Every structure is written in C-alpha cells, then in structure tokens.
C-alpha cells in the first residue's frame, strides 16, 4: 500500500486482514510503496511519518516479520533499477492505455512522467521477486496484466528470466462503504473526515463518526444493501467487528432502534481495534524496533531482488562490475 494517507477500516477488511491469513500458507513479501506515492505532490515530513505508520499498522494487524518480509520500497534500489530496463521494453501506447492513468491525468494538473510510468515500477515490484501470485483488487487488474505482458515479452527475448505472475483474487470480502455516502466506497483519501473510519481513530472519534453515520428514515435494523445501503453498511461493520453472521445481528437488534445499534457498533469497533491500536502506539513510541524490522526486511528483500536484477543486467548485455 502507498503511505499517502492513514489506513482505514476498508483497507483492513479488504487487504490487511487477508494478508495476515496468506502468510500462513505462502512465502509473502509486503511493501510500503513510498516511491509510488511521489507520483502526486507530497509533504516530505508527512510522507516519512506515514511510511512508518503504515509499517507499524501492517505489524499491528498481524503481519509477522518472522513469517513474511516487510519492507519499504525505496530501501531496495533494485526496484528503480529494474524499472529502467523494463521501461525500455514497454511501448508508450501500453502506458497511455492504462485506465488509472487516464482517470488521474484527467483530474490533475500535474501530469508527470512518473504518473505515466507508474505501472512499470509496479511491474518491477512484482517481477523482482519472481512472484507467483499477486493479491490485487479490481482497480489493479489492468496493471497486473501489463506486468504479465512485460514478463512474457522479456522472456521471449531472454528465456527463463521472469516468473509470469497470476492475480490472486481473494475470497469475496466485505466492501466497506463511506459513512456519509453509503453509495460510495469508503476511501482513505475522502476529503470528508467523518466519512472514513481510520484504524488509528481514538474511541471518542469512532463513537462520534458512527453516531453521525448516514442511515435512512426507516427504523428497523435490516440488511438490504440495494435499498438501504447506510444501515446495511453498518451491519457489515458490526459483522467485521464481532465475526457474527449478518442474520444473527439482524435478529439480535430486532425491535431496537438505530441509536442503540450504533452505540453497540461503536463499542464493538473500539474493542476490535484496541489491541491493534495498542501495538501501533507501542511501535510508534519507540521506533528502534520498527526500524530494525524494516532494515532486516529490506536486507532480505534486497538479496532476492538483487539476484533477479543481476540476471536481467547480464541478459541484456550490461557489464557486471565484478565479472
């Protein structure tokens, strides 16, 4: 994930929580992709702070540095080095066809080359590690397709260089909607603060955001995402926080009002986040442990990345300094 904003409950449900499961079955690498964040203007001090915060949240959510590699992208220079070589194998048309580039460049004045070549850096992130699987959401599918094309193209010229990665589509998880506009996905960059529940929101803020969450003019606690998206989203959140099935929740709150349900939901979310927040604050209070984990992660990732980079440099005809 990019360290551009604070992580929120949707990131936890849609990504982090699943990653924690994946590390039990797979050899996983988790990066905080700070170089990608530079494609839009950033406040330098904030970017540095968020990078540590996202790392601390990965760990607090249960990413285990004994089982997985967790690292900051810019700590492994091979990412930018491979990007250059891959750029020389990417057609301009391929990058300009990317939906995300088209959308972002239509919205923003600063259309820099980094925004254009972003998918090539993403391809390097993946191919450096000979990844078999990449967990991606729908918005990243096209970028992964480009990664696959680049790997295949490169392998065509230089056989057996890259593993061609497959998308890993996680079991359909809950999609969390905005607390203020339940027709829209919750987003960590929503300008309206109270629409988003951040993982680090203190209990009082959680209570206030849930209290003010948009519902509807009906009175029953019923699950119907089409007709009653607001209350249904809150029921989903209650399910996320307690693990109880939706039907059980609906039965539990039969005959009760929104106020009571919202109070119970806020407390359940506070309870769910309590251990995560505690660990997060420990890691952020004394950063030596966090920085050590990231240093070790970068070393481990760097070794693997360097092997691939050497192979690529050699194949394309660059003179290796030690040969």
Q: Please list the active-site residues.
A: 104, 185, 188
Of the candidates 79, 104, 41, 39, the residue with the CA atom closest to the CA atom of residue 306:
79
C-alpha atoms less than 13 angstroms from C-alpha of 166 in its C-beta half-sphere = 4
Q: How far is the CB of 88 from ligand AMP (least distance, A)?
A: 28
x/- map, 164-183, ligand AMP, by CB under 6 A: -----------xx-------
Distances (CA, A) of 301 to 44, 85, 202: 25, 19, 34
Q: With binding defined as CB under 6 A, does residue 97 bind ligand AMP?
A: no
Pairing mode of beta strands 133-135, 69-72: unpaired
H/E element, 234: helix 229-242
- Can you tell me which residue has the tokens 């020389």? 88
Please list, residue by residue across 268-284, b when 16 or more beta carbons sit within 10 angstroms of its beta carbon and e when fewer do. bbbebbeebbebbeebb
x/- map, 11-30, ligand AMP, by CB under 6 A: x-xxx---------------
Residues between 271 and 300 that touch ligand AMP (CB under 6 A): none
Distance CA 150, CA 145 (A): 9
**For residue 177, what are the β-bridge partners?**
185
Q: With binding defined as CB under 6 A, does residue 186 bind ligand AMP?
A: yes
Q: With binding defined as CB under 6 A, does residue 104 bind ligand AMP?
A: no
Q: How far is the CB of 196 from ligand AMP (least distance, A)?
A: 9
Q: How far is the CB of 309 from ligand AMP (least distance, A)?
A: 27
Q: Which is nearer to ligand AMP, 39 or 90 (CB)?
A: 39
Q: Which residue is nearest to ligand AMP (CB)?
A: 14
Q: With binding defined as CB under 6 A, does residue 185 bind ligand AMP?
A: yes
Q: Max alpha carbon distance in the chain (Å)?
A: 77
Q: How far is the CB of 289 from ligand AMP (least distance, A)?
A: 25
Task: Candidates 17, 104, 188, 279: give the one binding ligand AMP (CB under 6 A).
Answer: 188
Residues between 127 and 156 that touch ligand AMP (CB under 6 A): 137
Residues forming contacts to ligand AMP in the complex (CB under 6 A) are 1, 10-11, 13-15, 137, 175-176, 185-186, 188
């Amino acid at each position: 994930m990019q360290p551009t904003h604070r992580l929120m409950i949707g990131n936890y449900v849609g990504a982090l929580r699943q990653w924690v499961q994946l590390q039990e079955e797979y050899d996983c690498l988790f990066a905080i992709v700070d170089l990608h964040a530079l494609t839009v203007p950033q406040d330098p001090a904030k970017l540095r702070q968020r990078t540590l915060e996202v790392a601390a949240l990965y760990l607090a959510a249960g990413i285990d540095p004994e089982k997985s590699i967790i690292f900051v992208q810019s700590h492994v220079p091979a990412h930018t080095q491979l990007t250059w070589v891959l750029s020389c194998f990417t057609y301009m048309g391929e990058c300009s066809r990317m939906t995300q580039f088209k959308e972002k460049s239509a919205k923003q004045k600063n259309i820099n080359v980094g925004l254009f070549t972003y998918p090539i850096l993403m391809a390097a992130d993946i191919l450096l590690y000979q990844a078999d699987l990449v967990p991606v959401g729908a918005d990243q599918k096209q970028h992964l397709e480009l990664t696959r094309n680049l790997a295949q193209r490169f392998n065509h010229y230089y056989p057996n260089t890259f593993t061609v990665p497959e998308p890993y589509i996680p079991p359909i998880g809950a999609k969390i909607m905005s607390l203020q506009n339940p027709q829209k996905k919750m987003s960590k960059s929503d300008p309206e603060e109270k629409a988003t529940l951040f993982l680090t929101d203190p209990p009082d803020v959680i209570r206030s955001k849930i209290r003010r969450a948009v519902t509807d003019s009906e009175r029953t606690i019923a699950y119907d995402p089409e007709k009653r998206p607001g209350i249904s989203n809150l029921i989903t959140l209650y399910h996320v926080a307690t693990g109880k099935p939706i039907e059980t929740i609906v039965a539990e709150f039969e005959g009760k009002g929104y106020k009571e349900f919202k109070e119970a939901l806020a407390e359940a979310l506070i309870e769910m986040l309590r251990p995560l927040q505690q660990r997060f604050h420990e890691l952020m209070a004394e950063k030596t442990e966090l920085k050590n984990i990231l240093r070790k992660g970068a070393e481990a990732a760097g070794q693997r990345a360097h092997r691939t980079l050497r192979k690529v440099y050699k194949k394309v005809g660059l003179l290796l300094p030690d040969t």
